[in-house]
Structures are given as structure tokens and as C-alpha cells.
Amino acid sequence: MPVVLAMHFPWGRYHATPWGRYVNEGLVEVPPSPWRLLRALYSAWRVRAPELEEHVVCSLLGALALPPSYRIPPYRIAHSRHYYPDSKHRSGSVSTDKAVDAFAVLDGDQTFYAVWPIELDPEQHAALAQLATAIPYIGRADSTCEARLLDRVPPEADGHARAEPIGLDDDLSERHQLVEVLCPGLPLDLDALVQRPVDVRATKRLYPHGTRKITYAVPSPSQPSRPVSRTSSAITVVRLTVSGVRQPHMSHAVPLMDAIRGACIKILTRRNGTFDSLLAGKSADGRPLTDAHRHAHFLPYDADRDGRIDEVVIWTPGGLTAGEVDVLDILGRRGVGVPEGVTGPRDLQVLLTASGGDDLLPDEWTRPACRWRSVTPFVPSRYPKRHQSSDGYVHGEVIRELAYRGRSADALEVWERTNSAFLGFVRRRWRDRKATEPRSGHALELEFPAPLPGPFALGHLSHFGLGLFEAID
């Protein structure tokens, strides 16, 4: 007879940050790790049931050290943000620290079920039943929990998704994601189980000794319905928010945009095989589309002007299909980033927050203006001709790029400015890192004789974030 521990969260919220991750990453440990469950049982014994025999509890915890399987109710990941005064507020200046409170919103019966394929002796069974009812919360103290021991998984859990350890040869469905779960080593080391996080950090370890990470196939969270602009039926703009330990720097726009596009291509290919796609920018036979730049532009957006990427704006003048927008929904359930060994951001999460027409583009990218300024470096697509001046070379390349996109360039004036922030910009995709040194980047100002609306994304790698301009008044 299996051992079933039911963990019901009456408030419908489960707060728990995975061990070794920073709270402001916004991650939630779903399912509750075996290591977390054993620590909760041990704490309940010491604080609320000290009358239980030590040898009974220790043998019980040792038996529960085996990785369980789980039944997980439908859930969504959400968070709230809180701003607290930091140490500088004593000096009279206004200064705050942001704290992210991430949690899982549980639907259905709001109950996790952990299932161990073992049998307990009567003493262990009685001890587990008592300890389960003594657990006040699982995870952070916000996660009020009503736990109980069951003889079997109840019928109301039949609709719950399963989360189980996965092997190298197991197939992963689109509705599941791979999650590393912290588990105790075998046999269980009780001294390691009771270590405080501060004690673990003092030994310069990220995880307690006597633990191991096991990969589980965990059901993906359900996604909220995406807001769609009602001003246009064609979906030409999709906005994705970016979150991580720290927001990626604007100088890493190209490798990040390349990684997001690569992840989209992987999902598209797995779902639909090969076909012409404006999101991927490829035809069915894998060749780049020659559509006068009507395929997707992956553009970085620094909303608060701190030099870091807050959103990725995917602008596709030719429009996206419903299936391609769904791919961007799926992307929000997976981590994105550049591969190991490549300079650039990794371990990031993206979330689709809006989709619709061009009215969703940032105002400074689209409003009519005579003067436009570089947001990211303009990199010419061609090398200069022999004996061609630098000014004439850049001016000619800008005019050529505008004409290729059907934009008038009569009486255009181009000035090159100094922008030290552009010196560190990556100017090649990580897949092209073995190519020759990329062309230099230029900080430009363009002046047209009459106001023109944007957006303007020009030059080499303009579909990956370079050559982006904003209107200046």
C-alpha cells in the first residue's frame, strides 16, 4: 500500500522559493521538493510533537528519502512586487529595495499529493499521520497548509497531472517541463537535513551536503489569456516581459534576441514541421525569407532607461498567424538564454503580455518626427569601398537601407555622434562567433525634411536588435 501525503492550501496560494535561487528571480518550487517535505516533518516533530520516539521518526524520514511521484492540481504562476525603504532612507533621500513575492495560484481542489511506493510499519504510519497534521505551512509562512496522511490517492485527484522523475530516454510532452528537484541522498543524512541556509553558505556551498538534484517532468503552468489589441485584427506586434536574477544589459541584445528566435524555431519545428514562417524568417526549405523585411524583428526595449532590457518587442510587418503567437505563449513556460560557453544572458524567463497591431509599439519608436537617434548601434550591411570617406560610406548605407524598406530618403542628413555605451555592444550572433570581425557600430542622428513615422530598424542584424532608432523632439 503506497504512502500518500495530501497537502491542501486553503488560501489557494503556495509560496516557496527553490533552494539556491534568489527570491527576486520570481521562481516557485513546484512541486514541493522531497528535501523541503522532510525538513517540514522534522520541524513539526521537534516543535509540535516532541513526544514521538526518536528512532521511529528517524526511520520514518529515512524511508521517505526515496523520490516520490506527485499529483499536481492546475496552477498558474503569479507574483506581487513590494518596495521597502533601504538603509539610505535614514539620510533623507528617497531610496527603496524591490522584493518579488512569487507564488503558485492553485485551482481544482488546491491540493498536492506526494506518493511514495513504500510500506510503513504501524509505528511509522502513526508517527507520519501525527506529524502531517502538525505541519502549519509548506514553503514560506504565507503558505498555510492542511496536511494529512491518506491510504490512497482520492478520486478527486484523477484530473491532476503527474510529476515524476524522468530518465534520459523518456519523451517529454509539450504540456510538461523539465525541473530539477532537490532530493536527499541515500541513505539520509540527518545532520545535513537540519542545516540552516546560513550554515550551508558558510561552507561556500550552494546546496547542503548529502543532497542531489533529480530531474522531474512537471506539468507546465497554465497561462492567462493574453490581452489582444482591439484596434487591429492583424497581429503584427507581440510584447514579452523579461525577468531574471538581473535584467540583461542592452549590449547583449543580439545574443538574447538570437536565443529567443532559436527557441521559437525549435518549438515551431516540433509542432508543425517545416513551413514558411515570418516569425522564424525562414522558408520551408530553411532558406532566409526575402520579403523586404516583412518578417519578425526581435527588438530590445529599455522602458526605464537604465541600460537594461525590460521587454522584447517582436515586430512583424507581414503579420503573425495564431499558431505563431501560440508559440510565444509556450516560450513563456521555458527558460531562455544563450548556451553555456557563449557570452550573454541565460536563465531568463519571458512572459507574453500583449499582442495586437502596430499601436502596441513604444511611442518613441513610431511617432512622426524629423529627427531620429540611435538606440542601438547602426552597423552597415556592406564594407566601404576603397578610398570612400567614412561620412559618405555611412550616409550611403543609411539611404540604401531606407530605400530597401520603401522609405523616402530625399534630403536626408546624417550625423555621427559619440556614445560610449555602444562600445561594448555585441555585433554578431553567437552562431556566427567564428566569422570574421563584424563591422563597426555607429551612433547616428538622422534628420528628414518632414516628419516621418517609425519604426526604423536599419542595417546589419536589424532583425536582432541593432540599428534601432527613436524619435527625438
Question: Could you tell me what percent of the chain has a pLDDT over 70?
Answer: 91
- Indicate whether 181 and 250 sit together in one domain: no
- Indicate whether 347 and 367 sit together in one domain: no
Q: Of 305, 325, 360, which one is at a domain's C-terminal end?
A: 360
Is residue 465 in a domain? yes
Within 265-331, strands assigned E span 297-301, 311-315
Q: Where does the pLDDT of residue 104 fall: very low under 50, low under 70, confident under 90, or very high at 90 and above?
A: very high
Of the listed ranges 146-150, 228-232, 346-350, the least confidently predicted one is 228-232
Residue 239: how many other CB atoms lie within 10 Å: 23
Vertex 452, ends 450 and 455: CA angle to 5°? 160
Of 238, 220, 417, 439, give the one whose Cα is nearest residue 324. Answer: 238
Of the listed ranges 39-48, 77-86, 129-138, the least confidently predicted one is 77-86
CA dihedral 401, 403, 406, 408 (to 10 degrees): 110
Q: Show Cβ contacts of residue 190 under 8 Å, excluding neighbours closer than 6 positions.
A: 42, 58, 61
Question: Could you tell me what percent of the chain has a pLDDT over 90?
Answer: 51
Residue 394 or 39, more confident: 39
- Indicate whether 63 and 212 sit together in one domain: yes
Is residue 389 in a domain? yes
- Indicate whether 193 and 161 sit together in one domain: yes
Give the model confidence (pLDDT) of 61-70 as tens digits.
999 999 999 9
Rg (alpha carbons) of the chain, rounded to whole number: 27
Residue 170: how many other CB atoms lie within 10 Å: 11
Alpha-carbon separation of residue 331 from 153, 241, 268, 339, 350 (angstroms): 32, 12, 11, 16, 7
Is residue 100 in a domain? yes
Give the model confidence (pLDDT) of 33-47 as tens digits.
999 999 999 999 999
- Indicate whether 59 and 156 sit together in one domain: yes
Helix, strand, coil share of the chain (percent; to 5): 25, 30, 45
Of the listed ranges 78-82, 202-206, 340-344, the least confidently predicted one is 340-344
- Indicate whether 138 and 270 sit together in one domain: no
Q: What is the pLDDT of residue 166?
A: 86
> Does the structure show a pLDDT above 70 at 241?
yes
- Indicate whether 323 and 440 sit together in one domain: no
- Indicate whether 302 and 397 sit together in one domain: no
Q: Where does the pLDDT of residue 292 fall: very low under 50, low under 70, confident under 90, or very high at 90 and above?
A: low
- Indicate whether 16 and 139 sit together in one domain: yes
- Indicate whether 250 and 387 sit together in one domain: no
CB distance 72 to 218 below 8 Å:
yes
Identify the three-state secondary structure at position 59: helix
Q: Where does the pLDDT of residue 362 fall: very low under 50, low under 70, confident under 90, or very high at 90 and above?
A: very high
Is residue 416 in a domain? yes
Residue 340 CB burial class (10 angstroms; 0-12, 13-18, ≥19): exposed
Vertex 150, ends 146 and 155: CA angle to 5°? 95
CA dihedral 291, 313, 398, 374 (to 10 degrees): 180
The total domain count for the chain is 3
The rounded distance, in Å, linking the Cα atoms of 114 and 130 is 17
> Does the structure show a pLDDT above 50 at 15?
yes
CA 267 to chain centre: 16
Q: What is the pLDDT of residue 436?
A: 54
Q: What is the pLDDT of residue 174?
A: 65
Q: What is the pLDDT of residue 129?
A: 97
Is residue 226 in a domain? no
Is residue 230 in a domain? no
Residue type at position 308: R
Give the model confidence (pLDDT) of 182-195 as tens digits.
999 999 999 999 99
Alpha-carbon separation of residue 91 from 83, 97, 423 (angstroms): 18, 15, 36
CB distance 357 to 232 below 8 Å:
yes
CATH number at residue 145: 3.30.70
Q: Where does the pLDDT of residue 408 fall: very low under 50, low under 70, confident under 90, or very high at 90 and above?
A: confident
- Indicate whether 300 and 256 sit together in one domain: yes
Strand partners of residue 347: none
Residue 120 or 171, more confident: 120
Is residue 229 in a domain? no
The rounded distance, in Å, linking the Cα atoms of 469 and 314 is 15
End-to-end distance of the chain based on CA atoms, in angstroms? 74
Q: What is the pLDDT of residue 114?
A: 97
Q: Of 360, 383, 412, which one is at a domain's C-terminal end?
A: 360
Give the model confidence (pLDDT) of 251-282 as tens digits.
999 999 999 998 888 888 887 666 678 888 87
| Residue 332 structural domain | 237-360
Q: Where does the pLDDT of residue 232 fall: very low under 50, low under 70, confident under 90, or very high at 90 and above?
A: very low
Give the model confidence (pLDDT) of 171-185 as tens digits.
566 678 889 999 999
Give the model confidence (pLDDT) of 421-469 as tens digits.
787 888 777 666 555 556 678 999 999 988 999 899 999 899 999 999 9
pTM: 0.56
User: Which strand (E) or helix (H) includes residue 214?
Assistant: strand 211-219
Give the model confidence (pLDDT) of 323-360 as tens digits.
888 888 888 777 888 877 777 888 888 888 889 999 99
Burial 366-396 (b: 16+ CB within 10 A, else e): beebebbbbbbbbbbeeeeeeeeeeeebbbb
CB distance 113 to 105 below 8 Å:
no
Is residue 227 in a domain? no
- Indicate whether 391 and 319 sit together in one domain: no
Q: Of 219, 253, 279, which one is at a domain's C-terminal end?
A: 219
Residue 29 or 96, more confident: 29
Identify the three-state secondary structure at position 400: helix
The rounded distance, in Å, linking the Cα atoms of 142 and 17 is 12
Residue type at position 296: A
Sign of CA dihedral 294, 296, 299, 301: positive
Residue 128 CB burial class (10 angstroms; 0-12, 13-18, ≥19): buried
> Does the structure show a pLDDT above 70 at 237?
yes
Classify residue 285 as left (phi > 0), alpha (psi -120 to 50) or beta: alpha
> Does the structure show a pLDDT above 90 at 9?
yes
